[in-house]
Chain A
Amino acid sequence: MTQAAQVLAALDTVRDPELDELRALFLRKAVLAGADLVCRPLLSAGRSVADLADLTLGDVPPSEELTRLRARRAELGLPSGDESPLLVDAVTGEPIARDDLTLHLGKARLTRVGVEANTGICRGLLHERYGASPSRDTLVHHGKEAR
């Protein structure tokens, strides 16, 4: 078990309201960051931003990122079935209105960058202080090298 997995496992054994809140906050950030991971390839493949408003989770080709996104949405009680909209508000679960799509995708990308940058700094510091391996995987995107 990696150090990160051990920490997460330890967190799972603790049931503290403050920790529950923190876990929910991280999950919401993971849902936003995950939306970027799932949508970016669609945009690169030629879909327009407007197209994304009409897509459901079932319309998106299967991928590890999609599976993870659905699991996290389910854990937060957000819609996660095949018929659920691809893009939803990470707090209310409401579909994202067409006019708000660009902003929502911007926030999704920013959240992913924030999580990755934070992880990058933490790993760098762990390496400096304790000689831990500066592995390129991250807590949020297991095994997915950040580009």
Chain B
Amino acid sequence: MYEKNGDKYFIVDSHMHYWDASPGNWVPGHENYAKGWIECFHAYQGLGPAETHWPIEKFMDYGEEALMRDVFDEGYVDIAVFQPTYLKEWYKTGFNTTERNAALAAKHPGKFVVNGRWDPREGDAGIAQLEADVERYGIKGVKMYTAEWRGDSRGWTLKDPEAYRFLAKSQELGIKNIHIHKGPTIWPLDKDAFDVADVDHAATDFPELNFIVEHVGLPRIEDFCFMATQEPNVYAGLSVVIGGLMHARPRFFAKVMGELLFWVGEDKMTFGSDYGIWEPKWQIEGFVDWDYPDDEVYSDYPRINVASKKKILGLNAAKLYGIEVPAECQLPAEAGEPAAQDAAVGVSA
């Protein structure tokens, strides 16, 4: 929980990681990709305040102690949602797997939500694995990485018939939340895999699932916003938006937030630190203090207040995951229910 000026914020970090990118985990013959990937990630950390930068050695494998301190002891987070990223083509045991995440979660009960993943290219074996993961970990959400390499394939889309089979299976198994990475291209992944058009189709055809577009489709935020206004079950995942822009590019950040608040709305925006890229502490402190710069350029954008920030920092994600929020952190009744399904603006693109 974070408290400022007497207001208490329940914090759900809805997008964070526990990875191992140390050289011992690099796949022989693919070391250049494994090294290039983590170095590219590391550059993103440079967009945060200087005092929060880590040396690359720590960044490759920060370990349990640092994570628990940075996220919970010092980072104000109440519940953190582990989002896996496998990348087994480059990392022997995977970059950041459900299994590794679940092992840490088991040591710290009540702190984490463990999400799974699937890849439609895995076919029947993938379906069986998904069933086993739901059975074992009680998964309520999955993270999709459509740009992930597999053999000769350089990615897939949610529009693929095989992906529909997995979406239907997810729904049948009680999974509610589909997080999709749609963000800046990370070398060496293909740029096309991050196009947001496929989310549009899937969100229409699976209205009972929630689609949280992580990184809001940057660098295609306009495509994302046009789409999100039409789909009541599409959410804006703010990882990278706050971490990558709030400190480094405050004016762009203000505009991006203004556009998201206008097109998507405060009921459908969710905070994610993207730890270990960025620590949550400075992001939460900065966002609670944040307002538009005093300039008429920003005057048309929707205003943001304490209730908006409470929703974005935790209440919206708590609702998506059925997390109980302490009474002292809830909104008074008149502030409205967060994350209402009928909140779409209904504007045609």
- A is bound by B: yes
Q: Does the CB pair B46–A128 fall under 8 Å?
A: yes
Alpha-carbon separation in the docked complex, A103 to B218 (Å): 21
Q: Is the interface of B mostly helix, strand, loop or mixed?
A: helix
Residues of the A chain whose Cβ atoms lie less than 8 Å from the Cβ of B244? 121, 124
* Given A120-B249, A124-B47, A114 and B297 contact (CB-CB distance below 8 Å): no
Chain B contacts with A in 218-242, Cβ cutoff 8 A: 218-222, 225-226
* Given A117-B218, A120-B245, A128 and B295 contact (CB-CB distance below 8 Å): no
Q: B347: CB under 8 A from chain A?
A: yes
* Given A107-B226, A129-B43, A147 and B297 contact (CB-CB distance below 8 Å): yes
Q: Does the CB pair A110–B225 fall under 8 Å?
A: yes
Residues of the A chain whose Cβ atoms lie less than 8 Å from the Cβ of B295? 147
Alpha-carbon separation in the docked complex, A4 to B222 (Å): 23
Q: Does the CB pair A110–B221 fall under 8 Å?
A: yes
Alpha-carbon separation in the docked complex, A124 to B46 (Å): 8
Q: Does the CB pair A117–B221 fall under 8 Å?
A: yes
Q: A146: CB under 8 A from chain B?
A: yes
| Contact indicator per residue, chain A 103-129, by CB within 8 Å of chain B (1) or not (0) | 100110111011011101110110111
Give the number of residue pairs across the A-B interface with Cβ within 8 Å: 76
- B43, B252, B255: the one contacting A125 at CB < 8 Å is B43
Residues of the A chain whose Cβ atoms lie less than 8 Å from the Cβ of B258? 113
Chain B contacts with A in 257-314, Cβ cutoff 8 A: 258-259, 262-263, 295-297
Q: Does the CB pair A117–B43 fall under 8 Å?
A: no
Alpha-carbon separation in the docked complex, A114 to B260 (Å): 11
**In the complex, which range does the number of interface residues on chain B fall in?**
20 to 34
Residues of the B chain whose Cβ atoms lie less than 8 Å from the Cβ of A117? 218-219, 221, 245, 249, 252, 255-256
Q: B248: CB under 8 A from chain A?
A: yes
A17 to chain B, nearest CB (A): 14
Q: A29: CB under 8 A from chain B?
A: yes
Residues of the B chain whose Cβ atoms lie less than 8 Å from the Cβ of A114? 218-222, 259
Alpha-carbon separation in the docked complex, A103 to B184 (Å): 27
5 nearest interchain CB pairs?
A: A118-B219, A128-B46, A114-B222, A114-B221, A120-B249
A residues within 8 Å of B by Cβ? 29, 32, 44, 103, 106-107, 109-111, 113-114, 116-118, 120-122, 124-125, 127-129, 146-147
B residues within 8 Å of A by Cβ? 39-40, 43-44, 46-47, 184, 218-222, 225-226, 244-245, 248-249, 251-252, 255-256, 258-259, 262-263, 295-297, 347
